[in-house]
Structures are given as C-alpha cells and as structure tokens.
Amino acid sequence: MLGQLPNLELRRTALFRAVLNPFVDRVYPGSTVLIRPINTQELKATTLLGMTIEEASAKVREGGPVDDEEDYAADCWAGIVPITPHIGAVIPDPRLKPGIPAKPQVGHFPEGAAFDEVLLALARKAGA
C-alpha cells in the first residue's frame, strides 16, 4: 500500500477526543454513553492512526497451488494453510457485575465470523 500519514501529534488535543468517541462507537455502537470518559493515562496510551490509501495491490485468487510441473516431483508437502483472523468466544472480565450480558455491546462480533467482514459491515452501517 502507498499513502501518506497526516500529522500524528493530535493525541492530547480536543480534536483527538472528538474523533476517539465516534471511532469507539463505530466498532462498539452506543458504548460511549455506557462507559466513563477516557482518562489522561489512557489518552496518553492511545493512538488512532488514519491515512488515505492512494494505491494498493494484493495477490488474490481462488483454487489450489499453482506450481511448476517439475515441483510436483519433489518429496515435500504442497498445499494451502489458510490463516484468517476470526472472532473467538467472548471472555467476560472476572470482575464484571452479575447479570450484564455481552450481546448488546459486542453481539455484533459473532464467534467464528471473519473480523474484516464484521468491520466492513459496521462501516457500511455507519454510512462510511
């Protein structure tokens, strides 16, 4: 990917706080009204990175491996090892108050779903 990053010294400004809550609400809709505002220590430890992608490329295809004919004579395994980021089962904080269900806040992260597809659906829902 090619692109340019804007000035990242935005961390302790009002603008940073102004973009942080909408970002959090985009990933966890409605959660910023349920949680306390970010404190100074958390603010220092948080970075949001935004960039405009000017150009990108990817090698994408379907099907099995495409090897040179002579490679098939080798005594080694060939194939595909899929590596995909999927959402696992939610793990509640041991100190969570009893009776607070995960579904309203993180139910849009279904176990086994591809993380990129969930983020894309959230972006589409937010009108991005």
pTM of the predicted protein model: 0.51
Residue 69 lies in a domain: no
52 and 4 in one domain? Answer: yes
What pLDDT, on a 0 to 100 scale, did the predictor assign at position 3? 55
Asked whether residue 91 falls in the same domain as residue 52, the answer is no
**Percent of the chain having pLDDT more than 70?**
83
**Backbone torsions φ then ψ of 49, nearest 5 degrees:** -115, 125
Domain membership of residue 32 (yes or no) is yes
Q: Is the pLDDT of residue 82 over 80?
A: no
Regarding whether 40 and 4 lie in a shared domain, the answer is yes
Reduced to 3 states (helix: H, G, I; strand: E, B; else coil), residue 50 is coil
**Structural domain harbouring 51:** 1-58
- Is residue 85 within 8 Å of residue 114, measured between CB atoms? yes
Final residue belonging to a domain, choices 58, 73, 97: 58
Asked, for residue 66, whether it belongs to a domain, the answer is no
> Of the residues 58, 74, 99, which one is the last residue of a structural domain?
58
User: Which residue type occupies 49?
Assistant: L
Count of Cβ atoms closer than 10 Å to residue 72 Cβ? 9
Burial class (CB in 10 A: 0-12, 13-18, 19+), 109: middle
- Comparing 9-13, 43-47, 81-85, 116-120, which segment has the lowest mean pLDDT? 9-13
